[in-house]
Structure 1
Amino acid sequence: MELLQLNASELPLSEWSFERRFDERGAIQWMQDNWSKSFVFSALYAALVFGGRHYMKLRPKMNLRLPLVLWSLTLAVFSIIGAVRTGSYMVHILSCSGFRRSICDQSFYNGPVSKFWAYAFVLSKAPELGDTAFVVLRKQKLLFLHWYHHITVLLYSWYSYKDMVAGGGWFMTMNFGVHALMYSYYAARAAGLRVPRPLAVLITSAQISQMAMGLLVSALVYRWMNHADCPTRIDNIGWAAVMYLSYLLLFSNFFYQTYLRRRDAHLKKE
């Protein structure tokens, strides 16, 4: 397949030195050799989460306000930078080569600026599992959506990166953008700031939109997969469709239960 060849000078943002030096071939090779370790991380995560809940059952909840602020703020800054860097790349591809090329071309994995952030994205899904430690130690309600989402995103991201599948640029850039909003919100809440309720509604709406767009991109990749310029695997499309559909249903249900049902109950009381 002929890849879209881009020079750093063509992009709206200049390439940072560490992005230029990043060895994407070595990163892809490492992931091809080690992607199955994501199952080990997932198994350890599940054991620690449910073991931790049992451990905390008869113990007082922890406050952890400062660690949670620092944790959320770190992930917010990482996601904001990632969203800006990958977003600028995707906007450039869209404006110069069109929507279809933005989905099908593999240049996101090895292009200037984006190649580092693509790898950073998939690796970040392992430390992001630490989100749940705060839920468990603070004895908050642990939703199925929460731990299911963490495990499946980790597995799918590592599985997909090794094959440089079509659609990856959209998947990663959307996730960076939503996480930039989400972790900023978490950091503000943990710091004790009063955050307007509409912002929470906006974040959940953005998550639902991300899942709908993920389904659309997966469908288009399936439609174009027989063309030489849209590389993927049928099993990857299948897993992506199942994953995004389940997320769409779960996040939509969360939206209904959290914002619509509670509002209706409040109106009835009045």
Structure 2
Amino acid sequence: MASLIQLSSPDFWLTRACDLFGVNKQEWSYISGQTKLATWSEVLMGTGVYLLIVFGGKAVMKNQKPFEMAAFWRFHNLLLAIMSLFLLLLFAEQLIPNLFNNGLFWSVCHRDAWNTKLELLYYINYLIKWYEFLDTFLLVLKKKSTPFLHVYHHSMTMVLCFTQLEGTTSVSWVPVTINLFVHVIMYYYYYLTALGIRVWWKKLVTTTQIVQFVIDLGFVYFCSYHVFIHRFYPNWPNYGACRGDDPAAIFGCLLLSSYLLLFVKFFFDTYNKRSKKTNPIRSKNI
């Protein structure tokens, strides 16, 4: 049995996770253009194939009966909830000592806040985004709705994770860990509904997603400001340099901003329509 000292080590669970999958965390590193799925051609091809399967699949399924995949749908959602929780705990194991010892600004901006251990976790999170494409494929086979927000979010989040790996943005852990937390809740919700359980907190899931993007943007805009200001306008108010390349910073700001706008629109479109249906007299007066 591991001692309390071992359990308190910041690498205890990461080491065991690496051993489980046969990864040497001391030697592993993300190498642009060499690591699997680490080229723009693979990313763009993957996105294109995803969109082709989604829209082509919908055309093929138009005159077909929907597939019954209740058992696999439950397994898929439970698996993603568990994977998200496990990866979130691995991130916490690495990040909590950094935050406690070095503070928040160091943890989101300092060059040393990006290290090979966190890089491995970022890469695992990136690979999970590829697996999450299966969400949409299953919906197509079940002839369920695949709105623009769903397809846009799934395809572009994979691209976002790739750009941040390429740009080595130290702030990456903020949107990644919050997203993992949201996914634990969201996929567990889908798992419960797949069991036929009526869940009262569906609206809370969407609200949590919106709060996620508000927090993300606060951090991302703050760090992007320091990326550019420290380099081009060092006399302007700033706390110091922030790690990350320009394209990654710009793309992250723009994409997360679009997510926030689209999720807010989805929230009002979804829940305003429902309130009007349940209370047509009141909604008419409003």
TM-score if structure 1 supplies the norm length?
Answer: 0.86
Contact 1:83 1:180 in 2 (8 A): no
* Correspondence for 1:80: 85
Correspondence for 1:145: 149
Q: How far, CA to CA, are the matches of 1:82 and 1:266 in structure 2?
A: 40
Alpha-carbon separation, structure 2, partners of 1:223 and 1:90: 23
State the shift of 1:54 in Å.
0.2
Question: CA offset at residue 72 of structure 1?
Answer: 0.8
> Which residue number in structure 2 is paired with residue 42 of structure 1?
47
Aligned partners of 2:242, 2:141: CA distance in 1, in Å? Answer: 45
Deviation at 1:26, TM superposition (A): 3.1
Residue of 247, 261, 266 corresponding to 2:278? 266
The 3 A distance-change label for structure 1 pair 148 and 95 is same
Matched, 1:22 2:22: no
- Determine the C-alpha separation between the residues in 1 that align with 2:120 and 2:38: 18
Report which stretch shifted further, 89-98 or 183-192: 89-98
Tell whether the 8 Å contact from 2:29 to 2:120 is kept in structure 1 after alignment.
Answer: no
Q: CA deviation at 1:191?
A: 1.8
CA deviation vs aligned residue, 1:220-246 (integer Å, no higher than 9, x gap): 112221277511122222111110111
**What is the aligned residue count?**
261
Flag the 1:97–1:193 CA change in 2: closer, same or farther, 3 A.
same
Cα 1:24–1:229 shift into 2, 3 Å: farther
The aligned residue for residue 255 of structure 2 is 243
CA contact (8 A) 1:122 1:158 kept: yes
Q: Tell me the SS of whatever aligns to 1:17.
A: helix
Which of 221, 224, 240 is the equivalent residue of 1:222? 224
Give the partner amino acid of 1:84.
L
The alignment status of 1:186 with 2:190, answered yes or no, reads: yes
The higher radius of gyration belongs to 2
Larger RCO (CA within 8 A; separation ≥ 6): 1
**Structure 2 residue identity aligned to 1:144:** F
| Aligned mate of 2:96, from 61, 77, 91 | 91
Aligned residue among 255, 258, 268 for 2:267: 255
Deviations 1:182-212 (A, max 9, x none): 111111111222212xx21121111111111
Query: After the TM superposition, which of the residue ranges 39-48 and 20-29 deviates more from structure 2?
Result: 20-29
Q: How has the CA–CA distance of structure 1 residues 136 and 188 changed in structure 2, closer, same or farther, with 3 Å as cutoff?
A: same
Over 3 Å counting, the alpha-carbon distance change for 1:76 and 1:26 in structure 2 is same
Query: C-alpha displacement at 1:162, in angstroms?
Result: 2.3
1:156 to 148, 160, 163: 160
Structure 2 alignment gaps of length 5 or more: 1-6, 232-239
| Cα distance in 2, alignment partners of residues 230 and 10 from structure 1 | 28
Query: 1:69 and 2:88 equivalent?
Result: no
Cα distance change on mapping 1:267 and 1:35 into 2, 3 Å: same
1:174 is matched with: 178
User: Which secondary structure does the structure 1 equivalent of 2:88 belong to?
Assistant: helix
SS in 2 for 1:125: helix
For 2:65, the equivalent position in structure 1 comes to 60
Task: Give the partner amino acid of 1:202.
Answer: L
- Amino acid aligned to 1:68: W
Unaligned runs of 5+ in 1: 1-7
